[in-house]
Chain A
Amino acid sequence: MSNLVHKEASLLEVKNLETAFSIDGAYYNAVDKVSFSIKPGQIVGVVGESGCGKSVLSLSIMQLLPKGNGEIRSGEITFEGVQLNQLSDTEMNRIRGRDISMIFQEPMTSLNPVFTIGYQLQEVLFNHMKISKGDARQKSIALLKSVGISRPEKLVDEYPHQLSGGMRQRVMIAMAIACQPKLLIADEPTTALDVTVQAQILELLKTIQEVNDMSIILITHDLGVIAEMCDEVLVMYAGRIIERSDAESLFYKPMHPYTELLLGAIPKMDEEAGMLSSIEGMVPSLKNMPETGCRFALRCPKVKPECSAVTPLLEEVEEGHSVSCILYETSMPRKGVKP
């Protein structure tokens, strides 16, 4: 990442975010004291295994948590100086789809089966701009063209079930970029797709990002995708960010034992085929989360006795590289956010 970008103000700033789900009347944090920021034009990857809170984090930013169940308990989400978690639903609707938009993991079910592609594309246009029906149709055809769909004039009148998964995800992307948002949240956009289609979709996202100069939060559990796409990476484990770094130094110099193991679990082409390496154990469930100490301690190969007593903070250890692990002495002045 160039220094120029670093000097700009943040587009999105998340501070001490705690998002909790209520189970039998008690609240359990699925996202625990998460802080990070995104600058304009930046692609930030969020990586972690299933259930680590990456999707909940993105739904918290969009204010799309399931009602009556998930809830932001504390913290701030500031987008262009506006605190999103203070906005009413009506105010948030003006931002969703226009300034921040989102694409989801499941292109098969994310489109409404009973409406045409054109209707669903035009809906986002009608939500946010004054536009005539004819213009909206022309614009939706142009949008489909811009996401690499070859016969957009026909496709606007077709239904989602007539399209392949890759095509549907392209439609979802067209919907997301219709109002030229400043931030796109992509929640595992390629997980449900074939590998060849995955590469095409990622390529498309990168092209659009460059043309529109938008920021992207890319949520994935695929480290290859991170390496391909991202400027900065957040590694999440059990609801917390445990490592934050630019993409390059994360791959060359992973610090947190969890990140090391994650990288070690990627099978390599030139190695003898044998057992795939994996991380022993499981992420503790929300209800059984240890209150103090490092949440990875139970599975960590480098665990020390004090790991379960001291809750590590996310601290900058090297320029632009922060980690939340007591193995690392801070050589830099402490900048970590205290919980």
Chain B
Amino acid sequence: MLKYTIRRILGMIPMLFLISIVVFSLAKLMPGDSLSGEIDPANTDPQYIAEMRDKLGYNDPVHEQYLRWISNFMQGDFGKSTRYKIPASEIIAERMPNTIFLGLMSLLITYVFAFLMGSYAGRKPYTLGDNFISAFNYIGLALPSFIAGVFAIYIFAFNLGWFPSNGSVDISLEQGTLSYWISRFHHVLLPAIVLGALSTASYTQFLRNDIIENTRKDYVRTARAKGTPEHKIYRSHIMRNSIIPVVTFLGIDIGLLVSGAIITETIFTYPGIGQLFLSSVTQRDYPVLMAITMLLSFLTLFGNLIADILYGIVDPRIRLD
């Protein structure tokens, strides 16, 4: 398994190299640059803009620009944000805890609810309870998060006043105190529910269908013929098999943990990576944009690796070597 892991990590290097070319090209293909976004064209001397472009290296040949970026990148220098004038890594590091907190909360909501609803619906398919869960799930799947988010803010934040409508914490509170953490939790809950609802819906249906399929398997009949009680058949024999495909999702989720919430974070003005990503696009803040994209690519590859290793653990038929 260790050998397999090392081989996979080494295999990521050429992959990341190719990704870096795509990321750089996409950034270059965007119309405009950080100067056209930042400076009021009516009030700025065109000569100054031309000078700045030259100084920032925007007039150099593309391959030189790429080589400069990638060699700095590999040395851990992700460049300076053209908007905040501080290193991109600092801005990302500052936003990261908020995003991870939101991601973990929404994953927790997803897994707990999907597991409860999916195993119930799989065990009692085509009953009233199953239909109710299905209806709930289809609504969850059909509602885009920007609609769900707006309605959630309108109903639960404005009308009912149960949750704050924006931000990640009440800024008047002192960092590290209990009430500070309660406030953070309070702020993250509504976006986490909105974010988690979509994946809850698909995971629930997936788990349900897999359980129904496994119920018809020969080994379930064998377990019944041994006199194993029904609840134990579901709890051990079927669940243990139905978990295997869900592991695929877990790998993808590790990538989503960090990227997941571009739209949701923006609607809730929650200061995380997703919101930073979107504003960096509009401001043409290339260094931040490229650093985030590279980070997400790496996490996606890493998530796939984790999923493959988990496969080897939950399914004895898969051997990693």
Q: In the complex the two chains form, is A112's CB within 8 Å of B227's CB? A: no
A172 contacts partner chain B, Cβ-Cβ < 8 Å: yes
With a CB–CB cut-off of 8 A, which chain A residues contact B225? Answer: 62, 64, 96-97, 101-102, 104, 176
Q: Is the CB of A89 within 8 A of B218?
A: no
B contact patch SS: helix
Indicate whether B151 reaches chain A with its CB closer than 8 angstroms.
Answer: no
Partner of B217, one of A109, A161, A172: A109
The dominant DSSP class at the A interface is mixed
Q: Does B61 contact A (CB under 8 A)?
A: no
On whether the beta carbons of B224 and A175 are closer than 8 Å, the reply is no
Q: How far is the CA of A102 from the CA of B228 in the complex (A)?
A: 13
- B226 is an interface residue with CB less than 8 A from chain A: yes
Once the chains bind, are B317 and A159 in contact (CB under 8 Å)? yes
Known: A89-B230, A161-B317. A112 touches B237 (CB 8 A): yes
Asked if B68 is an interface residue, CB under 8 A from chain A, the answer is: no
A175 with B317: in contact, given A64-B221, A110-B219, A112-B219 (CB under 8 Å)?
A: no
Contact A96 B219 (CB under 8 A): no
Contact of A64 among B224, B237, B241 (CB under 8 A): B224
Tell me whether B94 is interfacial, beta carbon within 8 Å: no
Q: Which of B227, B244, B314 interacts with A95 by CB under 8 Å?
A: B227
Contact indicator A114/B315 (Cβ below 8 Å): yes
In angstroms, how far is the closest chain B Cβ from the Cβ of A87? Answer: 12
- A98-127 toward B: CB 8 Å interface, digit per residue (1/0)? 100110101001111111000000011001
Give chain B's interface residue range (CB within 8 Å of chain A).
20 to 34
A207: interface (CB < 8 Å)? no
- Please tell me if the beta carbons of A94 and B227 are within 8 angstroms of each other in the complex: yes
Report how far A90 CA is from B236 CA in the complex, Å. 18
Contact at B222–A104, with CB atoms within 8 Å?
yes
Checking A66, A114, A124, A172 against B227 with a beta-carbon cut-off of 8 angstroms, the contacting residue is: A124
In the complex, the answer to whether A172 meets B222 with C-beta atoms within 8 Å is: yes
- Residue of B216, B217, B227, B237 touching A97 (CB-CB under 8 A): B227
Shortest Cβ distance from B259 into chain A, in angstroms? 32
In the complex with contacts A110-B218, A159-B317, A123-B240 CB distance below 8 A: no
Contact A109 B219, CB 8 Å, known A114-B240, A114-B316, A159-B317: yes
Complex: A102 Cα to B222 Cα, angstroms:
8
The residue from A96, A98, A106, A112 contacting B224, defined by CB atoms under 8 A apart = A96
- CB-CB nearest in chain B for A126: B228
How large, as a class, is the contact surface on chain A? 20 to 34
Q: In whole angstroms, what is the CA distance A216 to B221 when docked?
A: 19
Q: Do the beta carbons of A123 and B228 come within 8 Å of each other? A: yes
Query: How far, in whole Å, are A110 and B222 apart by their CA atoms in the complex?
Result: 6
B229 at the interface (CB under 8 A from A): yes
| Min CB–CB distance B192 → chain A (angstroms) | 32
Cα A110 to Cα B218 in complex, Å, equals 5
* Pairwise interchain contact A113-B317, C-beta atoms closer than 8 A: yes
Interface string of B250-263 (1 = CB under 8 A from A): 00000000000000
Those of A140-189 within 8 Å (CB) of chain B: 159, 161, 172, 175-176
CB distance from A196 to the nearest CB of B (A): 24
Question: Cβ of B226 and Cβ of A106 under 8 Å apart?
Answer: no
A-B pairs, top 10 by smallest CB distance, nearest first, are A97-B227, A97-B226, A96-B227, A109-B218, A112-B219, A124-B226, A159-B316, A93-B227, A102-B225, A127-B227
Q: List 26 A-B contacts (CB under 8 A).
A: A64-B221, A66-B216, A90-B229, A94-B227, A96-B227, A97-B225, A97-B227, A98-B227, A101-B226, A106-B218, A109-B217, A109-B218, A109-B219, A110-B219, A112-B219, A112-B222, A112-B237, A112-B241, A114-B314, A114-B316, A115-B236, A124-B227, A124-B228, A127-B228, A128-B227, A176-B225
Chain A interface residues toward B at CB < 8 A: 62, 64, 66, 89-90, 93-98, 101-102, 104, 106, 109-115, 123-124, 127-128, 159, 161, 172, 175-176
